[in-house]
Amino acid sequence: MPRIYLKKVILSKQVRRADFLRFMPARQKKELLKQASGLRGKRVAHINAVADGGGVAEILASLIPYLRSLGVESDWYSINPDVGEKFFKITNKIHNALQGAPVKINNREWADYKQVSRRIAAELDKIDCDVLAVNDPQILLAGHYAHLNKHKIYFSHIDTSSVFKPVWKKLVPVIKLYHRIVFSNRDFVNGSLPGRKVKIFTPAIDPLSPKQKIVPQKEARLYLKKHGGIPTRCPLIAQISRFDIWKNPAGVIQSFRIVQNTYPNAQLVLVGFNTAKDNPTARVVYKDIAAVASKSRDIFLFFDPKGKDVLEFTVMAQNAADIVVQNSTKEGFGLVVTEAMWKRQAVIGGPASGIRKQIRNGKNGFIVKSPEEMAQKIIFLLSRPTERKRLGNSAKKTVLENFLFPRLVLDHLKLYRSCLK
C-alpha cells in the first residue's frame, strides 16, 4: 500500500563520526560509543509534523545523520501535507491549547482528528522500528494508536506548564501512556505528568551545520557592507532574533542611544527575518521599531527576507558584530545566544531564564536588567578588546562542554537504551 498520510524524509546529508567526535570530551566520547554499540541492530523511527521549517525539523535534520553515523538505524517520517488543511487547522488549535490558548474544538473536529490519526497510525504500524519517537502534538494520538507493543517516546517541544485545561484533559491520558516524555526545559513540564517518565534534554547546536560556520570578522563585515549597506569601520552591536516583544528590541535601541553618547560612530544592527508564512505579530513589532529607528542613520533593521540569503546573512551578522546582545525578558533557552557564544562572541543578555542557563555573569558574558546597564556593559566592552576576547573564549568553552549536538545525541542514545531495557 503506498503511503498517503506519511512521507519518508530523505536526507542527503551524511556525517562521519570523526567529524563530531573531535568536539567531545574523552569521557563523553567513550560513553557515546558504548551506548551506540548497545543499540546496534535496533531501529528508531522519528515522526514529526513537517519536514522543513521550524526548530523540530532542524533538530531531526541534524539528529538522524548523527545516529546513522553511529550505526543506529534511524529514519524520519513527517505528515504528508496533502493530508489536508482541515487536519492541520485542528492540530494547530491543539498546539495552541497546549501552550495555554483558550480554543474551541467541537465534537466534529475531535472526530476528524481521531479519524486521520487512526489512518496515520495504520501507516506507522507498517514501519519497522524498535523505538517510535513522536515529535509534536500533531502526531500524539496517531503515535498512541500505533505500535501497541513497541517503546514509544513523546518529545514535547513546547511549553505545557499552563495548558488550556479542556483540551489538556482529553490529551493527558494519551501522553501519560508513552514510555517517556521529553522536554527541553524543566519549566515546560506540566505538573500532572508522572515525574518518573519525564526527561529533560537541554537544547544544543550542531557544530557541523552551516549555521554555526565561523567566519573571520573582517570577511563578515565586508559581507554586511555588500548585502546590507553597513559601514565596515565602526563598532558594531547586533541583536539577531525575531521581532518579538519578549526579545525586547525597543530596549536595545534605548541602550544604543546611551552608547552613542560615548561612541557616536557606533552602529546597531537588528536582524529578525520574517521567515514564517504568517506572523502578523512580528510585523506589528517590526513596524513600531522601524518607526523609532527611522530617526537614526546608525540603526539597520532586517525583516523582509526577500532578496536575502537568510541563513548566510544571519551567520555573517553573528560573526561580524563586536558585541552581540540578546535583550530578552522571556526566553525558553535562546539558541541565538548559544550560536553567538560558539562564535566566541561576548554576549550581553537580558534576564530571561533561558539566557541565565547559558551566561554566567562576568564569566562568559554579561546578564543585564535594564537598558542603562546594557549600555554600560557595551561601553565597557568596546573599550576593552582583551576582556571581550576573554569572555568570548570562555563562552565557546561553555558551549563546547554543555550545549553542543553530540551531547544531545548521547541523551537520545541513553533514552532509547533505557526504553529497550
Q: How far is CA 244 from CA 38, 279, 280, in A?
A: 44, 10, 11
Stretch that binds ligand UDP, among 86-94, 186-194, 330-338, 379-387 (CB under 6 A): 330-338
Say whether residue 357 binds ligand UDP (CB under 6 A).
Answer: no
Binding mask of the shown chain, residues 92 to 121, with x at each position contacting ligand UDP by CB under 6 A: ------------------------------
C-alpha 97: how far from chain center: 21
What are the cell numbers at 333?
Answer: 533557552
Say whether residue 289 binds ligand UDP (CB under 6 A).
Answer: no
Residue 239 contacts residue 355 (beta carbons within 8 Å): no
Say whether residue 392 binds ligand UDP (CB under 6 A).
Answer: no
C-alpha 248: how far from chain center: 19
What are the cell numbers at 233?
Answer: 569601520
For ligand UDP, the closer of residues 128 and 278 by Cβ is 278
For ligand UDP, the closer of residues 201 and 273 by Cβ is 273
Footprint on residues 203-232 left by ligand UDP (CB under 6 A): 211
Q: How far is CA 16 from CA 13, 68, 353, in A?
A: 10, 9, 35
**Least separation, in Å, of the C-beta of 229 and ligand UDP?**
17
Q: Is the dihedral of CA 64, 66, 68, 74 positive or negative?
A: negative
- Placement of cell 513546547 in the chain: 158
Say whether residue 350 binds ligand UDP (CB under 6 A).
Answer: no
For ligand UDP, the closer of residues 91 and 358 by Cβ is 358
Angle between helices 107-124 and 85-98 (to 10 degrees): 100
For ligand UDP, the closer of residues 131 and 335 by Cβ is 335
For residue 271, which amino acid is it?
V
**Least separation, in Å, of the C-beta of 225 and ligand UDP?**
18
The residue within the footprint of ligand UDP, chosen from 143, 207, 272, 371 (CB under 6 A), is: 272
Q: What whole-number distance in Å separates Cα of residue 55 and Cα of residue 286?
A: 22
Question: Beta partners for 326?
Answer: 349
Binding mask of the shown chain, residues 121 to 160, with x at each position contacting ligand UDP by CB under 6 A: ----------------------------------------
The count of chain residues that interact with ligand UDP, using the rule CB under 6 A, is 15
Footprint on residues 20-59 left by ligand UDP (CB under 6 A): 55
Q: What values do phi and psi take at 284, rounded to 5?
A: -65, -50
Stretch that binds ligand UDP, among 43-51, 184-192, 219-227, 268-276 (CB under 6 A): 268-276
For ligand UDP, the closer of residues 310 and 420 by Cβ is 310
Say whether residue 339 binds ligand UDP (CB under 6 A).
Answer: yes
Q: What values do phi and psi take at 243, rounded to 5?
A: -80, 105
**Least separation, in Å, of the C-beta of 391 and ligand UDP?**
19
The residue within the footprint of ligand UDP, chosen from 77, 155, 273, 403 (CB under 6 A), is: 273
- Return the C-alpha torsion angle 108, 109, 110, 116, nearest 10: 110
For ligand UDP, the closer of residues 270 and 381 by Cβ is 270
For ligand UDP, the closer of residues 355 and 410 by Cβ is 355
Residue 364 contacts residue 357 (beta carbons within 8 Å): no
Binding mask of the shown chain, residues 228 to 267, with x at each position contacting ligand UDP by CB under 6 A: ------------xxx-------------------------
DSSP sequence for 368-417: -SSHHHHHHHHHHHHT-HHHHHHHHHHHHHHHHHHSBHHHHHHHHHHHHH
For ligand UDP, the closer of residues 80 and 275 by Cβ is 275
Say whether residue 310 binds ligand UDP (CB under 6 A).
Answer: yes
For ligand UDP, the closer of residues 163 and 271 by Cβ is 271
- Placement of cell 568596546 in the chain: 382
**Least separation, in Å, of the C-beta of 352 and ligand UDP?**
10
What are the cell numbers at 222?
Answer: 565586508
Residue 263 contacts residue 295 (beta carbons within 8 Å): no
For ligand UDP, the closer of residues 173 and 229 by Cβ is 229
Cβ partners under 8 Å of residue 69, min gap 6: 14, 15, 16, 17, 20
Instruction: Give the three-state DSSP class for 203.
Output: coil
Say whether residue 271 binds ligand UDP (CB under 6 A).
Answer: yes
Q: How far is CA 394 from CA 22, 329, 366, 377, in A?
A: 19, 24, 12, 17
Judged by the rule CB under 6 A, the positions of this chain that interact with ligand UDP are: 55, 211, 240-242, 271-273, 310, 314, 333-336, 339
